[in-house]
Amino acid sequence: MALGNRHLLGLEGVSAQDITLLLDTAESLVEVSRREVKKLPALRGKTVVSFFVENSTRTRTSFEIAAKRLSADAVSIASTSSSMAKGETFEDTARNLAAMSPDCIVVRHPASGAARFLAGVVDCSIINAGDGSHEHPTQALLDLLTIRQRKTCAWKDLVVTIVGDILHSRVARSNLFGLRTLGATVRLAGPPTLLPEQFRQFGAELYYDIGSAVEGADVIMMLRIQHERMAGNFFPTLNEYARYFCLNAEKVARAKPDVIILHPGPINRGIEISSEVADGPYSVIMSQVANGVALRMALLYQLIVPGADGIRGSGVVEPAVTAAPGRAMVA
């Protein structure tokens, strides 16, 4: 069995079965980073291009290491050093990259929908590594992996609280879709200006007070305040935000005793999370980063190696069209 799709554009519409397949595959690849020779021959002769039109340290390094550990040839392009700096459009740059026949393009872009757009333009697998405020599916998958490693109960018995700038957070969206698909309870918390009512439609519970949001939670996921995406005034000052929404030890005490705390990074210490909590015993932030490599290896393997039936998975992850036939996404 292989994945139902040849792209990963988001977790919206991805089945619980596919998510579980990726988590299981990743779990068996975690040990690779402890080996003397950290390399597997599975993707020998395959090419993975990372096309990052927005800054990134963790995600880009993580994808690159993942591709290299599977023996793929990994090429990385940043917009500042590419021809886009000379005025070439995103589409033209992408077409040119695709003309060199990579097997997979990993794309990050400040515009929501960029990954889906790319999937319609080029003829190789596309992985969304973050598109604007839309989705960041691999971050959510590695969060799910980290949660699953620490929590033995069923997904439906888990309460996950996501706190912060929900409006601009692609991590929050992807996690919400993934967690709801698996059956977990998702609470979203933040100031009303950063917490749109519409999220109730996706099955989330909304809280405007962090204290009641973390009450009895199994998992707390803190989000970074995204200054770069904020066009308006969403809260008076950072200090005021921190006073109400910074996760400190006192607030953690209201969650379950075995609560774990996640943060996708980069951390703004003292703003959304206090240093004592970020570096404290409940924090699993470094496991998230370590799991990122295993998860992305699993994803590259499952997307690039054709399915056991010899046919590559087809159809794009469309919310409405889950089993689109053939090359429908290249239309």
Among 21-29, 128-136, 190-198, 242-250, the segment contacting another protein (CB under 8 A): 21-29
Closest CA to 52 of 26, 90, 18: 90
CA distances for 106 relative to 88, 94, 230, 302, angstroms: 19, 11, 25, 14
Nearest distance, CB of residue 46 and another protein, angstroms: 9
301 touching another protein, by CB under 8 A = yes
Query: Exactly one of 31, 197, 228, 258 binds another protein (CB under 8 A); which one?
Result: 31
Residue choice 16, 28, 89, 328 for contact with another protein (CB under 8 A): 28
User: Is 305 a residue that touches another protein (CB under 8 A)?
Assistant: yes
Pairing label, strands 185-189, 104-109: unpaired
| 197 contributes a contact to another protein by CB under 8 A | no
- At residue 222, φ and ψ (nearest 5 deg) are -95, 140
Nearest-angstrom CA–CA distance, 168 and 147: 23
Cβ–Cβ contacts within 10 Å for residue 100, how many? Answer: 9
What type of residue is 54? E
d(CA 260, CA 286): 12
Q: Of 6, 8, 11, 37, which lies in the binding site for another protein, with binding defined by CB under 8 A?
A: 37
Map residues 66-105 to x or -, x wherever contact with another protein holds by CB under 8 A. ----x-----------------------------------
Q: What is the DSSP string of 60-105?
A: HHHHHHHHHHTT-EEEEEEGGGSGGGGT--HHHHHHHHHHT--SEE
Give the residue, chosen from 197, 228, 258, 309, that forms a contact with another protein under the rule CB under 8 A. 309
At its nearest, how many Å lie between another protein and the CB of residue 141? 16
Q: Residue 236 interacts with another protein (CB under 8 A)? A: no
Question: What is the closest distance, in whole angstroms, from the C-beta atom of residue 72 to another protein in the complex?
Answer: 12
Among 232, 310, 319, 325, binds another protein (CB under 8 A): 310
Closer to another protein by CB, 27 or 88: give it.
27
State yes or no: residue 22 binds another protein (CB under 8 A). Answer: no
Q: Nearer Cβ to another protein, position 216 or 306?
A: 306
Neighbours of 167 (CB within 10 A): 18
Count CB neighbours of 194 within 10 A: 23
* Contact positions vs another protein (CB under 8 A): 1-2, 21, 24-25, 27-31, 35-37, 39-42, 70, 301-302, 305-310
